[in-house]
Amino acid sequence: MSKSVSAKMGIKENTRGIFISAPADAIKAINVPDLQIASRLSGNFDYIHFFAVSQSKLDKKFPSLKRHLKPGGMLWISWPKAKQHGTDLTLTKIIKIGYDHGLVESKTLSINTSWSAIKFTHPKKGKIYNNSYGKLKV
C-alpha cells in the first residue's frame, strides 16, 4: 500500500496547521490527519501550506509565512503544474524566493494532477547549504 500525500509530507497528528489559498481538491488529495487547523495566520505553526500562482504574491507573503513558522516547523509551498492557472512560478524560482527569505528546501512532491509542493524549513545552525538556485542571505 502506498503512503498518503500527508504521510509523504510528514504532517503529524495533533499539530497546529493552516492552509492558505488552498483549493478544495488539493486539501482532499493531501488527506490531512487530525490537526488543529487555524482559519487565520496568527501565532506559530508546525505546518503551513500556502498555494501560490505568482512570483510576486509568493515573494510578498513569504516573510509573514516565515514569521509564523515554529523553529522545527515546515512550510509547504504549492504551485500549479505545467503553467496551469497562468502561473509564472517554477521550482527554481520558488527555491530562490525561499532562500532569499532565509528558509531552505528539502523535499518536493506531487499533490495531485494540478499541484506540486516543496517543503521549506529553517536552516540548521552550522550546516552549509549549497544550492545553485538560491543563496541564503546572512
DSSP 3-20: PPHHHHHTPPTT-EEEEE
Strands (E), the chain: 16-20, 36-37, 45-51, 69-80, 104-110, 115-121
Q: How far apart are CA 122 and CA 12, in angstroms?
A: 18
Opening angle at CA 52, ends 57 and 130, nearest 5: 90
Q: Which domains does the chain have, with CATH numbers?
A: 5-121 (3.40.50.150)
To the nearest whole number, what is the mean pLDDT of the chain? 93
Q: How far apart are CA 37 and CA 84, in angstroms?
A: 27
Record the cell numbers describing residue 9, joined without a space.
Answer: 509530507
Q: pLDDT for 3-49, tens place per residue?
A: 889 999 999 999 999 999 999 999 999 998 899 999 999 999 999 99
Whether the predicted pLDDT of 2 surpasses 80 = no
What is the pLDDT at residue 5?
94
Q: pLDDT for 58-105, tens place per residue?
A: 999 999 999 999 999 999 999 999 887 789 999 999 999 999 999 999
What is the pLDDT at residue 115?
96
The pTM score is 0.94
